[in-house]
Amino acid sequence: MPGLSMAESGGGRDFPAKLTLQVFICTIIAAFGGLMFGYDIGISGGVTSMDDFLEKFFPAVYLKKHEAREDNYCKYDNQFLQLFTSSLYLAAIVSSFIASFFCKKFGRKPTIQAASIFFLAGAVLNAAAVDLGMLIAGRLCLGVGVGFGNQAVPLFISEIAPAKYRGGLNICFQLLITIGILIANLINYATSKVHPYGWRISLGGAAAPAIILAIGSLAIMETPTSLLERGKNEEALRVLRKIRGVENVDKEYSEILNAIELAKQVKHPYRNLMSRSNRPQLICGTVLQFFQQFTGINVVMFYAPVLFQTMGYGSDGSLLSAVVTDSVNVVSTLVAVFLVDIIGRKVLLIEACLQMLVAQSIMGRILAVHLKSTNIMPGGSAKLVVILICVFVSGFAWSWGPLGWLIPSEIFPLETRSAGFFFAVSMNMFCTFLVAQAFLTMLCHMRSGIFFFFAAWIVVMGIFAIFFLPETKGIPIDEMNERVWKKHWFWKRYYKGSEINKRRQEIQDKPEEESLQ
Ligand code: BGC
């Protein structure tokens, strides 16, 4: 039998595969991890603008909010209130580190299951909270759930998806994040009228996606890569045949085996990740998540109701406007699901930068002119700001939102995949924490200038996407190094003479029967 050359191993074409029902169902179930995450993002903003909640846990903010002459930009500035939102992300950073080992040692499926249990515990603690301590403890549990879920779900989907549909399937994770945010705001809208315990219903509602994920995850299968990684070769072959819907999966199977053989030689994935030949993926994966957060998206997601109240909408109007922007978020994410494997990742990222830049700049200008310290913004301008927020959110939703998760989950070689993805997840959590913790204070000090701050970052990320980000559309996940990084005008210099690279080449040049044994 001829040797498995690069071209034959997929160097020029895809492995045979159909988009099977199994892959589709497993993707949707796993993506409920995204719904848990999204629910949480959406619920905090609404709950922190509910009077019953503020009076019970943050009486100082409650009083300040009701002082008629309090400065528009500063009335919610309270470190403890921000800690309520941001504590989750601190827990998520630590737990995604643990989850990266868990994922490798026990598999993607148990990691997803652990996520649902932690999330459930957090929801119960929050709904029953009698003091701030209990509230924060609940947030920390939710954070551990988010850390485990966000580490495992995107990897899981990228590993089971056929290369041709990987983008669209992976974005189901983001799609369910956006649906979670929308549901949370609808629930907040309803519970804000239930006194005095509406906030308990809102926070307790997080239990629903956790339960669905816990039960649904019993039906999903482990990824062939993770099975092979743990020596379960026969099961891996069986699963691969099933999820691909074809009998002849030999090429893909041997490609994963090659990747595993190489991965086994790497004893310290984290040390290896720091080596020169892994730098391109590490830089791109983490920087993408940094940029995702510095679009300023979570200013809108967490604080939209607060922001709208600042502009003079009543609390009903505020929650309702948040529901409008969240619906735009869901619908625009669908655009990415359908386009990402057709027009590619880069076009979406670059177009969105232009769109977000225009929206942020005009928004900043309107607030600078019309929103002073103690006035109420004129109705027309406030409406225009809501429209601009929708333009901004839609740009984010078909680009940096989903691709911030998709690209880091598909660019790392197997030996550093969990470790590398951890850096991406924790960068996301860290920056989300920063934005959540700092935004209300920044708003108080920088005022409308905050929008120009984010606009400047959007320019930087646009330049990065144009020059430094390679296109990964349609490339099998275990062939990224050969077909993407080594050919990129800038990143190819990181591969010259690297040891792991030589080993990769030797393994790939091995005869096919040998690698299938
Ligand atoms: C981001 C979240 C953001 C959400 C909005 C996600 O991709 O990671 O921080 O709130 O998108 O849809």
Ligand 1 atom 7, closest CA? 401
Residue 1 has pLDDT above 50, yes or no: no
> Which helix or strand (DSSP H or E) is residue 256 part of?
helix 250-264
The CA 173 to ligand 1 mean position distance, Å, reads 11
What percent of the chain is helix, strand and coil (3-state, nearest 5)? 80, 0, 20
What was the pLDDT predicted at 4? 30
Lowest mean pLDDT among 202-206, 401-405, 433-437, 458-462: 433-437
pLDDT surpasses 50 at 8: no
Average pLDDT over residues 279-296: 96
pLDDT tens-place string over residues 230-263: 999 999 999 999 999 999 999 999 989 998 988 8
Average pLDDT, the chain: 88
Q: What are phi and psi of 507, to 5 degrees?
A: -65, -40
Contact of 419 with 273, CB cutoff 8 Å:
yes
Q: Of ligand 1's atoms, which has the minimum distance to the CA of residue 289?
A: 8
Residue 13 has pLDDT above 60, yes or no: no
Whether residue 361 is predicted with pLDDT greater than 70 in this model: the reply is yes
pLDDT for the residue 170: 95
**How many angstroms separate the CA atoms of 276 and 274, rounded?**
7
Give the pLDDT of residue 496: 80
Q: Residues 273, 415: contact at Cβ < 8 Å?
A: no
d(CA 202, CA 39): 10
Looking at mean pLDDT, say which of 203-207, 449-453, 480-484 comes out highest.
Answer: 203-207
Specify the residue with its C-alpha closest to ligand 1, atom 11: 401
Distance from residue 517's CA to the centre of ligand 1 (Å): 43
Sorted by sequence, the CB contacts under 8 Å of residue 291 that are 6+ apart come out as 400, 404, 457, 460, 461, 464
Please state, for a pLDDT cut of 90, what percent of the chain lies above it: 64
Q: Quick one: average pLDDT of 338-354?
A: 97
Average pLDDT of span 61-65:
81
The Å distance, Cα 298 to ligand 1 centre, comes to: 7
Q: Which residues does a 6 A CB cutoff place in the pocket of ligand 1?
A: 41, 174, 177-178, 181, 292, 297-298, 301, 329, 401, 404, 428, 432
- pLDDT bucket at 500, cuts 50 / 70 / 90: low
pLDDT band at 9 (very low <50, low <70, confident <90, very high): very low
Largest CA distance in the chain: 82
pLDDT at 507 over 70: no
What is the band of 17 on the pLDDT scale with cuts at 50, 70, 90?
A: confident
- For ligand 1, the distance from its centroid to the CA atom of residue 177, given in whole angstroms, is 7
Least confident range from 4-8, 32-36, 151-155, 436-440: namely: 4-8
Measured by CA distance, the residue closest to atom 3 of ligand 1 is: 298
pLDDT tens figures, 161-181: 999 999 999 999 999 999 999
Q: CA 92, CA 37: separation in Å to the nearest integer?
A: 11
> pLDDT category, 113, cuts 50, 70, 90?
very high
**What confidence category does residue 72 fall into, taking pLDDT thresholds of 50, 70 and 90?**
low
Question: Mutation test of ligand 1: which of 174, 291, 393 has the most ligand atoms closer than 8 Å to its C-beta?
Answer: 174
* Among protein residues, the one whose CA lies closest to atom 6 of ligand 1: 401
Q: Ligand 1, atom 4: nearest CA belongs to which residue?
A: 401
**101's tokens:** 């080992």
Task: Give, rounded to a whole angstrom, the gap between the first and last alpha carbons of the chain.
Answer: 14
Which of 243-257, 441-455, 490-504 shows the lowest mean pLDDT across its residues? 490-504
d(CA 28, CA 219): 11
Q: Token digits for 339?
A: 């386009």
Q: Which of 129-133, 182-186, 388-392, 435-439 has the lowest mean pLDDT?
A: 435-439
Residue located nearest, by CA, to atom 12 of ligand 1: 178
Q: Which atom of ligand 1 is nearest to the CA of 302?
A: 10
**Of residues 500 and 126, more confidently modeled:** 126
CB-count exposure of residue 399 (10 Å: 0-12, 13-18, 19+): buried
Higher pLDDT, 440 or 364: 364
pLDDT of the residue at 6? 32
Task: Grade residue 314 by pLDDT with cuts at 50, 70 and 90.
Answer: confident
pLDDT band at 272 (very low <50, low <70, confident <90, very high): confident
CA of 418 to the centre of ligand 1 (A): 21
For 315-320, what is the mean pLDDT?
74
The confidence score (pLDDT) of residue 268 equals 85
Closest-CA residue to 365 (of 306, 462, 450, 445): 450
48-52, 123-127, 299-303, range with the lowest pLDDT = 299-303
Tell me what pLDDT residue 498 has: 67
